[in-house]
């Protein structure tokens, strides 16, 4: 009894001193008064503990453990503050939130399977900023943001535990993100190789002009590169003593009437490059011409001119080069991954930036056997008819090679595909705002679509816009799943609050390191 009176007197003294302090400080808020009273209570309890006494409002360890095992009210901002009755948090002043008792929680968990079709079960709450922090009860982070509930169907999604997680998004968020979906379908994909190339001469239409004896150029008719000539046009005249001697021998053979000698002399003139028209002129006029005329064997454009008027020439001298542009080559480069698509005989289409309204149809004439070691591309030679000469050498062209098509293949838009170092995947739309990752194996590309060889079926819906945001959220959910704690074994039915409090103390002592 004396101890009780001593404690009461000590409490009255402290309250009086606190009242004086409160009067001088004149707190204007209820929060300040609550904090002051809590401080006085803690001071009184500390003084009483030094004297070996316990104040009435001081709880024992067992009573404190009971509150944590079956709390009634707690602070949303400071979960460590637990009370048996309504009130305010002494730290932040927020109203304490009621929490269901352990019996009520057990009853709710027992009744959960019966109402699984009506209500979704919350497994835990995760940090709204994506940090590796979870909580079994509602709480706020240090910025005042509510933790996000993770439901059982979101964590499992009805799939295997090791399967991709399912992300659930509210309809208004789906609309704000601009999520668009498209059904996977079967279609025919044309393997079209799009590349670029340059127009070049058709080497089968190139001709070189030479003479078969020594002599001098006289009367050069074609005197510039790029000049256009036709078949049979006079190119130049050449003076050669050997040609003059051969003409005289032919005239002597004609005069002798020896058919064998005439045939041999005529063959010698043809072998020296004298045209048939010049031989007939010689037979008709019976007069040796000082110079011999050289005519064009085919039409085209002079691409090289190596002589000028009066130059000495011999059989090894390349006088000029004539190229016929009625057909041209187009040399294109194909990526290494598309090299197997191109075959000889396939149709090709060419377009010029200078003539965008017109296109030329040709074919693949030759596929070169080696790749460029620097660009890792395969050279392909295309042939195009060029009757009007619009295709000029060294012109830049856009080329489309129409390879063999693939029929009845699953395909999705290329924009729906997510590629990274780990592989290729898409985001499936499961309906009701639920989305899930799906790994796929791709095939050929055709235009804006790509073939899917494994991972999807005809009835699937894939996301074609905003899929990267959903994919990021799915990766985050998977990370949280890997960080979920291993379920603890339930406490024995005969456990008492004292034994549980002692066990908790032991666990707290060993957490983060080995016991001392």
Query: Residue 182's beta-bridge partner residues?
Result: 462
Structural domain includes residue 159: no
Residue labelled with tokens 């005439």: 262
Looking at the structure, tell me whether residues 317 and 340 fall in a common domain. Answer: no
Structural domain includes residue 43: yes
Structural domain includes residue 494: no
Instruction: Quote the tokens at residue 153.
Output: 């169907």
Domain CATH code at residue 476? 2.40.420.20
Among candidate residues 307, 323, 339, the one where a domain is terminated: 323
Domain CATH code at residue 350? 2.40.30.170
Looking at the structure, tell me whether residues 350 and 242 fall in a common domain. Answer: no
In this structure, what DSSP letter does residue 146 have?
Answer: B
Cβ neighbours for 152, distance < 8 A, ≥ 6 positions apart: 120, 121, 122, 123
In this structure, what DSSP letter does residue 220 have?
Answer: -
Looking at the structure, tell me whether residues 263 and 215 fall in a common domain. Answer: yes
Looking at the structure, tell me whether residues 386 and 306 fall in a common domain. Answer: no
Residue labelled with tokens 């401080």: 39
Looking at residue 145, what is its pLDDT?
Answer: 79
- Separation in Å, CA 350 to CA 191, 401, 447: 16, 9, 17
Looking at the structure, tell me whether residues 337 and 198 fall in a common domain. Answer: yes
Looking at the structure, tell me whether residues 198 and 331 fall in a common domain. Answer: yes
Closest CA relative to residue 324, chosen from 357, 302, 356: 302
Cα–Cα dist 154/163, whole Å = 12
- Separation in Å, CA 382 to CA 202, 350, 403: 10, 10, 14
Looking at the structure, tell me whether residues 319 and 208 fall in a common domain. Answer: yes
Instruction: Quote the tokens at residue 126.
Output: 């995760």
Looking at the structure, tell me whether residues 315 and 215 fall in a common domain. Answer: yes
Cβ–Cβ < 8 Å for 436, 376: no
Looking at residue 154, what is its pLDDT?
Answer: 60
Cβ neighbours for 254, distance < 8 A, ≥ 6 positions apart: 262, 283, 286
Among candidate residues 23, 41, 58, the one where a domain is terminated: 58
Looking at residue 103, what is its pLDDT?
Answer: 44
Cβ neighbours for 118, distance < 8 A, ≥ 6 positions apart: none
Q: What is the mean pLDDT of each run of 10 residues along the chain (516 residues)?
A: 63 61 48 53 62 57 54 70 80 72 44 51 74 77 81 53 68 80 84 89 90 90 90 90 89 88 90 86 87 88 91 91 92 89 89 89 92 92 90 92 82 87 85 85 82 87 79 57 48 48 39 38
Looking at residue 1, what is its pLDDT?
Answer: 57
**Number of domains present in the structure of the chain:** 5
Looking at the structure, tell me whether residues 332 and 365 fall in a common domain. Answer: yes
Structural domain includes residue 22: yes
Looking at the structure, tell me whether residues 331 and 420 fall in a common domain. Answer: no
Domain of 105, in residue numbers: 59-114
Residue labelled with tokens 């007069």: 287
Structural domain includes residue 102: yes
Q: pTM for this one?
A: 0.47
Looking at residue 193, what is its pLDDT?
Answer: 86
Q: Is the dihedral of CA 36, 38, 44, 46 positive or negative?
A: negative
Count of CA atoms in the C-beta half-sphere (13 A) of 351: 9
Cα–Cα dist 71/105, whole Å = 11
Structural domain includes residue 6: yes
Structural domain includes residue 122: no
Q: Do the bridges between strand 434-439 and strand 134-135 make them parallel or antiparallel, or are there none, so unpaired?
A: unpaired
Looking at the structure, tell me whether residues 275 and 358 fall in a common domain. Answer: no
Looking at the structure, tell me whether residues 248 and 290 fall in a common domain. Answer: yes
Domain CATH code at residue 228? 2.40.50.100
Structural domain includes residue 500: no
In this structure, what DSSP letter does residue 164 have?
Answer: P
The dihedrals phi and psi of 95, each to the nearest 5 degrees, come to: -65, 135
């Amino acid at each position: 009894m004396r101890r009780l009176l001593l404690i009461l007197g000590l409490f009255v003294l402290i309250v009086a001193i606190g009242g004086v302090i409160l009067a001088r400080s004149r707190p204007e808020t209820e929060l300040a008064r609550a904090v002051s009273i809590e401080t006085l209570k803690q001071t009184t309890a500390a003084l009483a503990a030094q004297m070996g006494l316990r104040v009435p409002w001081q709880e024992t360890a067992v009573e404190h453990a009971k509150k944590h095992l079956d709390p009634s009210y707690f602070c949303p901002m400071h979960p460590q503050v637990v009370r048996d009755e309504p009130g305010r948090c002494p730290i932040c002043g927020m109203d304490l939130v009621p929490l269901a008792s352990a019996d009520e929680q057990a009853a709710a968990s027992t009744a959960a399977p019966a109402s699984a079709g009506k209500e979704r079960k919350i497994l835990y709450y995760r940090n709204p900023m994506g940090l590796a922090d979870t909580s079994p009860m509602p709480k706020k982070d240090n910025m005042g943001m509510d933790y996000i509930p993770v439901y059982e169907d979101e964590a499992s999604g009805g799939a295997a535990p090791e399967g991709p997680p399912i992300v659930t998004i509210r309809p208004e968020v789906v609309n704000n993100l601009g999520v668009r979906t498209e059904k996977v379908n079967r279609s025919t994909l044309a393997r079209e190789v799009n590349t670029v190339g340059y127009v070049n001469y058709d080497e089968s239409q190139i001709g070189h002009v030479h003479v078969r004896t020594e002599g001098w150029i006289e009367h050069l008719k074609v005197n510039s590169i790029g000049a256009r000539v036709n078949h049979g046009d006079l190119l130049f005249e050449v003076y050669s003593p050997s040609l003059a001697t051969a003409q005289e021998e032919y005239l002597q053979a004609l005069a002798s009437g020896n058919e064998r000698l005439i045939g041999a002399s005529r063959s010698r003139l043809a072998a020296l490059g004298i045209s048939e028209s010049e031989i007939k002129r010689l037979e008709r006029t019976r007069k040796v011409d000082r110079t011999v005329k050289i005519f064009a064997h085919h039409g085209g454009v002079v691409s090289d001119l190596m002589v000028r008027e009066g130059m000495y020439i011999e059989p090894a001298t390349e006088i000029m080069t004539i190229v016929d542009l009625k057909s041209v080559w187009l040399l294109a480069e194909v990526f290494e991954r598309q090299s197997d698509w191109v075959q000889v005989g396939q149709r090709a289409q060419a377009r010029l930036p200078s003539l965008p309204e017109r296109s030329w149809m040709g074919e693949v004439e030759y596929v070169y056997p080696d790749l460029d070691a620097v660009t890792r591309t395969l050279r392909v030679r295309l042939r195009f008819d060029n009757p009007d000469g619009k295709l000029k050498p060294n012109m830049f062209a856009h080329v489309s090679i129409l390879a063999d098509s693939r029929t009845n293949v699953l395909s999705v838009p290329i924009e729906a595909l997510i590629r990274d170092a780990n592989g290729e995947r898409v985001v499936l739309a499961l309906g009701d705002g639920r989305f899930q990752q799906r790994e796929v194996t791709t095939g050929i590309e055709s235009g804006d679509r790509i073939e899917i060889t494994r991972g999807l079926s005809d009835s699937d819906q894939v996301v074609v816009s905003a899929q990267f945001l959903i994919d990021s959220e799915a990766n985050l959910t998977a990370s949280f799943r890997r960080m979920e704690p291993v379920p603890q074994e339930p406490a024995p039915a005969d456990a008492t609050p004292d034994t549980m409090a002692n066990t908790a103390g032991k666990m707290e002592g060993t957490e983060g390191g080995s016991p001392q």
